[in-house]
Amino acid sequence: MTQLLYKKTTLSAQRNMAALLRALRAGRALRGLGSVGAAPAAAQPLCCSLTRGFHRAALRLQDESKSEKPPSSSTTYHEHYQAHSAEQEAAGAPQEHSATEPAAEEASRPNTSYQDQSGEQGEEYETEEQLQARILTAALEFVPLHGWSVEAIAAGAETLGLSSASTGMFYNGAGDLVLHFVSQCNSQLTDILAEQHNQVQLGQAEPKKTAEFLRDAVETRLRMYIPYIESWPQAMSILLLPHNIPDSLKHLSTLVDDMWYYAGDRSTDMNWYTKRAALTGIYNTTELVMLQDSSPDFQDTWDFLDNRIQDVVNMATTAKQVQATGETVVQGLIGAAVTLKNLTGLNQRR
Amino acid sequence: MHRAANTAVYAWSNIVGPVMIRQCLKCRVPPQMSARAYSVVPTPHDSEEKEMLHRILRVDHAGEYGANRIYAGQMAVLGRSSTGPLIQEMWDQEKVHLAKFNEILAESRVRPTALLPLWNLAGFVLGASSALLGKEGAMACTVAVEESISEHYNSQIRALMEKDPDRYTELLQIIKEFRDDEIEHHDTGLEHDAESVPGYWLLKNAIQLGCKAAIYASQRI
């Protein structure tokens, strides 16, 4: 089997070399064209496909080097991290990480396809992680009916044409469903924030002030719960179960970190912690208020959010003022002491 | 007429050609490559690598922060003495190091260590108390700390080289440069009579033990 693997890698290495040589030849031809200055307009799309070719060949080489690494015992935990980090990377900063995401995805596939080890790169094969994700996403539409439970997962599996016994894949049952939903919402939020960030970079949108940005981010994120608001208390209690707490805290911390990052926070001191703690508090309390809010379009919740954010802003301003006042007072005292020393003649040097 | 048209076309293509090529080069720089060009730390492939890189950066940042505070403490005591300018010079270099690490931490979204307030206080106290032992005491403290830090940087360089020297070129370059600066500080300390402080051996080992504990803690917390 290792021989087959070797053959596969040398074949694909050859394919990559061929692609690179083709690209190099095209590059040389292009330079010839460019020096004559004959076809400047045609050069542009050619050049772009050239760099795309380089890029794809580079990706494939990178993929090769990664799949050559000894496939570590492909436990679900390891895959989960790879897929999770792949989707996090993709969601977190698409302009930087979109290149690594397909590479990471491709790398995670050969690691875990148990069935077919010979021949194909297995591009049609789905990992267990991806299958689970599909089932859970399909299960979400049954949540209003069945609540956050294994029945919803079973119903979801059935819409995909799988037997309801596939719920056996989910060791955590309803917990898996809730965590999947939370992680999906977080990715959606990160996509939206990244898109806004891009718009600002391109100059197509005005940068928002921090308070307004955070307010909008928290509102956008909490609005994703509106279709499931009836059953959300059940979901929250599931998230508070001891074996789910580490995962739910991790999701919460990445959510808050993303929000602050896109709000422009680049602090590397204790402010990193205080800011995130403050935002976590705001987010959690607003979520709780939302659960028992019956006003039209949750207007009370958004007002509550406004007030909390205003509180934090006020606290920060007050802290700064206190510090400035303190410094001024100290300087005044020193001035008074020096004056006293002068008056009593203690400052004279003989 | 014909020649004028020829020269016009020639001039036009001379202008347009390079502009088009420049536009070409701008058009589709692969995002990964452009990220590499501007960021010192490569994007981690998986969570293991991310954990390792974040630990390295977190502890280095904490180290530079602590070193800054130590020099600040020494300056507070010896600032107006004859060793003042020397300590100030070393402090300025540490400030440059800290600024660089602040930049790297921000762009790689690394969590800074939660013990920073502790290192703030401990560093200042260490610097000030060693300076109270006189110039030799301050130099002995510098020697001990810089020796710890350069040893620590060396082990990081070894670890990164073992993993993949090509992938971490920029990061390795920075760590090597900083390590060379720290070794220079260490040698400066020795030159200025660090060893003549009473209890040098005890002082040096106590400080180095403290540094090891600080490094261990900052990697995790």
Banded pLDDT at A13 (limits 50, 70, 90): low
**Are B24 and A89 inside 8 Å of each other by CB?**
no
Side chain identity, residue A212:
E
CA distance A141 to A48: 42
Nearest CB among B20, B27, B30 relative to A40 is that of B20
Residue partners of A150: CB distance under 8 A and separation at least 6: A167, A170, A173, A174
Nearest CB among A37, A100, A273 relative to B32 is that of A100
Give the best-scoring range by mean pLDDT among A81-85, B3-7, B31-35: B3-7
Residue partners of A241: CB distance under 8 A and separation at least 6: A175
Query: Which residues in B lie closer than 8 A to residue A66 (C-beta atoms)?
Result: 45
CA distance A251 to A91: 13
pLDDT at position A215: 94
Banded pLDDT at A105 (limits 50, 70, 90): very low
Residue to substitute from A56, A268, A272, interface B, most B β-carbons within 10 A: A268
Element (H, E) at B212: helix B200-220
Q: Who wins on pLDDT, A61 or A177? A: A177
Distance in Å from the first CA to the final CA of chain A:
95
Quote the tokens at residue A91. 């969601």
Mean pLDDT of all residues in A316-338: 93
CA distance A48 to A41: 12
Q: What percent of chain A has pLDDT over 90?
A: 47
Helix (H, G, I), strand (E, B) or coil at A288: helix
Nearest CB among B17, B61, B112 relative to A34 is that of B17
CA distance A251 to A243: 14
pLDDT at position B196: 86
User: What DSSP string runs through A65-124?
Assistant: HHHHS------HHHHHHHHHHHHHHHHH-HHHHTTHHHHHHHHHHHHH--S--SSS--TT
Picking from A48, A65, A49, A52, the residue whose alpha carbon sits closest to that of residue A106 is A65
Query: Which residues in A lie closer than 8 A to residue B101 (C-beta atoms)?
Result: 268
pLDDT at position B144: 93
pLDDT score of A89 more than 50:
no
| Cα A20 from chain centre | 33
Q: How confident is the model over B162-190, as pLDDT tens digits?
A: 988 888 898 999 999 999 999 999 999 99
Is this structure's pTM higher than 0.80? no
A–B interface: beta-carbon pairs under 8 A: 88
Banded pLDDT at A34 (limits 50, 70, 90): very low
Measured between CA atoms, how close is B195 to chain A, in angstroms? 35
- Mean pLDDT of all residues in chain B? 84
Measured between CA atoms, how close is B200 to chain A, in angstroms? 34
- ipTM greater than 0.85: no
**Are A257 and B14 inside 8 Å of each other by CB?**
no
pLDDT score of A126 more than 70:
yes
Query: Which residues in A lie closer than 8 A to residue B20 (C-beta atoms)?
Result: 34, 40-41, 43-44
- Specify burial of residue B78 (Cβ count, 10 A radius: 0-12, 13-18, 19+): buried
**Are A34 and B46 inside 8 Å of each other by CB?**
no
Q: Who wins on pLDDT, B44 or A55? A: B44
B17 touches chain A (CB under 8 A): yes
